[in-house]
Structure 1
Amino acid sequence: MDIEVIKNEGSFLEFRIIGEDHTLCNILREELLQNKKVKVAAYRIDHPLLDRKRPMFIINTDGTVSPKDALLEAIKNVEKDVKGLKKKLL
């Protein structure tokens, strides 16, 4: 997976996640929206015939936290949830 940053200005971050689909994007979006400092977390995936597996993601915060830091926190929380689930299942 690669990330292509399109725009990173203040409280706004726009990037593509190369090689991913709705599975990862939905999880990240939901986790980001749990953060009260995140005002907008959304993504779109163009039609598969036009742009395969290159979802465009946007994050907009209230300015008290950078979008990058909010994203890193969301990733850590998702990782923690997955490890907890794995532990319960095994």
Structure 2
Amino acid sequence: MKIKIVEKKDNELIIEIEGEGHTLCNAIKSILFEDEALVFAGYRIEHALLSKPVLYLKTNGKKDALVLLKETLEKLETNIEEFKEKFQKELEKFK
């Protein structure tokens, strides 16, 4: 995975995420929408085989766009760890 910041303003951020697809972008977008500072979030994938999604986000100015993305990724990481722990507990039932 390669990440490139295409454009950065205080309340806007555009990044390219090479090597990823809808799965990661939808997860990020879903968590972004939980924040009141978000005005817009979306992504586009020009061609499914080339997989270079471009993620857009814009805030209302109460929070820097880069800060919002960092917080979102931390929440995503927490969600994944929680899922992993619960999944491990369920697996123990089958041993």
Fold-level similarity (TM above 0.5): yes
Distance 2:30 2:85 in 1: 22
Match of 2:58 among 53, 57, 60: 60
**Is there any run of 5+ residues in structure 1 with no aligned partner, and where?**
none
**Is there any run of 5+ residues in structure 2 with no aligned partner, and where?**
89-95
Let me know the Cα RMSD of the aligned residues. 1.0
Distance 1:46 1:72 in 2: 25
The answer to whether residue 21 in structure 2 is matched with residue 21 in structure 1 is yes
Select the structure of larger CA radius of gyration: 2
Contact 2:9 2:65 in 1 (8 A): no
Matches within 5 A, 1:4-83: 4-48=4-48, 52-83=50-81
Percent identical residues: 30
TM-score (norm 2): 0.88
Distance 1:43 1:14 in 2: 9
